[in-house]
Amino acid sequence: EGDWRGTYFVPENLISSVEHADALRPLIPEGMTMAEMALRFILMNDNVGTTIPGMRKQRNVLANTTTSDGKLLSNELYEELKKHRWDRVPTSWSQ
């Protein structure tokens, strides 16, 4: 209760979000998590200087900080991920 995700991830948004995430799963390199791939993708943008990922648990903090090691995604993967851009349009019932 009181968490914005409770009002955003209603079935109409949740189903679409899951479908978009599932489309990325085949692209995740072996030994990498989706969260790591996402953070590395964001950090490859020259306009990004930092990220503020969620960190509810110590294991998430440790995993997220490893993406600051300077290692980049391959250019091929980066270009493929760019094709998955999702421009969401808020509706009257969502945020």
pLDDT tens, position by position, 48-76: 888 888 888 999 899 888 888 989 999 99
- Examine the pLDDT at 94 and tell me if it is beyond 70: no
Question: Rounded distance, CA 95 to CA 84, Å?
Answer: 22
Q: Which residues of 30-69 are buried (b: 16+ CB within 10 A; e: fewer)?
A: eeeeeebbbbbbebeeeeeeeeeeeeeeeeeeebbeebee
72 within some domain: yes
Q: What is the pTM of this model?
A: 0.79
14 within some domain: yes
Give residue 53's domain range: 5-82
Average pLDDT over residues 18-43: 94
43 within some domain: yes
61 within some domain: yes
Nearest Cα neighbor of 44 from 18, 80, 14 is 80
Yes or no: say if 34 and 25 are a contact pair by the CB < 8 Å rule: yes
pLDDT tier for residue 40 given thresholds of 50, 70 and 90: very high
Domain count, the chain: 1
